[in-house]
Amino acid sequence: MRNSCVERRRRRNFWSRRRRLAISTSSKCQSPAGSAEAAVPVAAELALQGLGGEGEPQSPWGRLFEELDSNKDGRVDVHELRQGLARLGGGDPDRGAQQGISPEGDTDPESGFNLEEFTRYLQEREQRLLLMFHSLDRNQDGHIDVSEIQQSFRALGISISLEQAEKILHSMDRDGTMTIDWQEWRDHFLLHSLENVEDVLYFWKHSTVLDIGECLTVPDEFSKQEKLTGMWWKQLVAGAVAGAVSRTGTAPLDRLKVFMQVHASKTNRLNILGGLRSMIQEGGILSLWRGNGINVLKIAPESAIKFMAYEQIKHAIRGRQETLQVQERFVAGSLAGATAQTIIYPMEVLKTRLTLRRTGQYKGLLDCALRILEQEGPRAFYRGYLPNVLGIIPYAGIDLAVYETLKNHWLQQYSQESANPGILVLLACGTISSTCGQIASYPLALVRTRMQAQASIEGSPQLSMMSLLRHILSQEGVWGLYRGIAPNFMKVIPAVSISYVVYENMKQALGVTSR
């Protein structure tokens, strides 16, 4: 009981100190239309107070620094900050105690920072928070209410209920008015890991890290901060490595899918076990990985092209606004996907030919490309291009729609106090939505694969997209358009699991900050 009372007293003292500091700071910027510049002289004044005397801290920031500096060495390192915030009840030490911990300069966050650096960091942080507050205070009345929270989420592509908005507001409202003023906003975020309201939505970004071997996903979005710090390219690299490991791990199922798409029919009744047995008998165990090399090789250029195209299309649609709404993401993502597919499509054709090759048919990737060029001409590298590009529309549309529906359902029904749904919910939403997108686009993917492979199969007629669709429907019925979908489903869960684990480890290795 005594420890509990002491803990509550510490928390009250902590918030009291932060409140007094907020009041003194906001006294010069009480106008709701005030600018971030108004905070600069206030911050400078507090800095002088904190560094006054014989180096002893006098300001609330200085006293807070003293309390966080547990070993009294004149510096606060990441470990001390995390322990101090956990003890005092400020921020979220597990998720972001070291994110953006140091101000501009050469300070090393691992070695900690002194009082001057600590004060400068809080000054800069306060200026950013004031800009954020005014951007959310849409009617400029000095308070953020429930409707403004809903509008902010809606502008970022998420529709939340009144009840959900009230939960978010309640987490910051400390005087019971059901509005957030500048002091409450500042108190809540000053030592919190979140940089802006978009960080709340970070958990809900439909990340393409869930690599299931398909190339039709809408590109991920990166915040302005991620672009400025260079985190975006590290995340792309981490995603590419995760995709490479994931595709290599599930390559036998991917080759089986392509094998069944091309060779399975009503007459031969080729199934999963029969397909695996046939491939192993023809080329041994290692033959199950045929075509995996180029499947991995095309990840990096496709991701880079898709990202650059997406950024340009996004700016054309919404100017410089960082986040698109769902329907705008669909349009931009589909166009970016079409751009990337147009450029790297010859690699798709090579992947299919190498996946289906017989033992000794080609010496390697270059030999395969030269033979296609000599025997079939340049146009062969774009066989199946039309159904492939058309497949982007149902895949991206249904993928995003299902993801948004599942996400909003979870927010409405199960979110209590946190915007973080947890990794299991995210993985489930991403897996289900991607699977639904695959089901919708699978007939076009099958037609594309058959068109890519037609010339390499002796006696196979060279049919157009519509002719091939009619042929499949007349000979095998609707089910014929879904040949090979079983091994495709079988690889989803292991592919998602492998890609997520590798992605998280790669992020740590590359120093990508996890929020």
CA distances from 279 to 162, 167, 458 (A): 57, 56, 18
- Predicted pLDDT at 231: 79
Q: Which amino acid is at 373?
A: L
pLDDT of amino acid 108: 52
Partnered with residue 113 across adjacent β-strands are: 76
Q: Residue 71: CB partners within 8 Å, gap ≥ 6?
A: 80
> Which structural domains are found in the chain, ordered by start?
63-132 (1.10.238.10), 137-188+197-208 (1.10.238.10), 224-510 (1.50.40.10)
Confidence (pTM): 0.67
Q: Closest Cα to residue 211, out of 506, 500, 426, 7?
A: 500
pLDDT of 218 reads 66
Q: Quote the pLDDT of residue 19.
A: 45
Written as six digits, the tokens of 134 are 């005014």
Radius of gyration of the chain (CA): 28
Per-residue pLDDT at 161? 66
What's phi and psi for 64, nearest 5 deg?
A: -65, -40
Beta bridge partners of 76: 113
The candidate with the shortest Cα–Cα distance to 434, out of 393, 392, 402, 409, is 402
Whole-number pLDDT of residue 423: 75
Cα–Cα distances in Å, from 128 out to 121, 134, 229?
11, 10, 16
- Which pLDDT score, from 0 to 100, does residue 260 have? 95
Helix (H, G, I), strand (E, B) or coil at 293: helix
pLDDT for position 190:
67
Q: One digit per residue, pLDDT tens: the chain, 515 residues?
A: 445 454 445 544 544 544 444 444 444 343 333 333 333 333 333 333 433 344 444 466 677 777 777 777 878 776 777 666 555 544 444 344 344 444 444 445 456 677 777 777 777 777 777 887 887 788 888 888 888 877 777 765 566 667 667 777 776 777 778 888 888 777 776 655 555 555 555 555 555 556 766 766 666 667 666 777 777 888 888 888 999 999 999 999 999 999 999 998 888 888 999 999 999 999 999 999 999 999 999 998 998 898 889 888 888 887 655 566 778 878 888 899 899 999 999 999 999 999 999 998 999 999 999 999 999 999 999 999 999 999 998 998 888 888 878 877 787 677 655 556 677 887 888 889 888 999 999 999 999 999 999 888 776 778 999 999 999 999 999 999 999 999 999 998 899 889 888 988 898 888 776 54
**Rounded to whole angstroms, how far apart are CA atoms 193 and 267?**
61
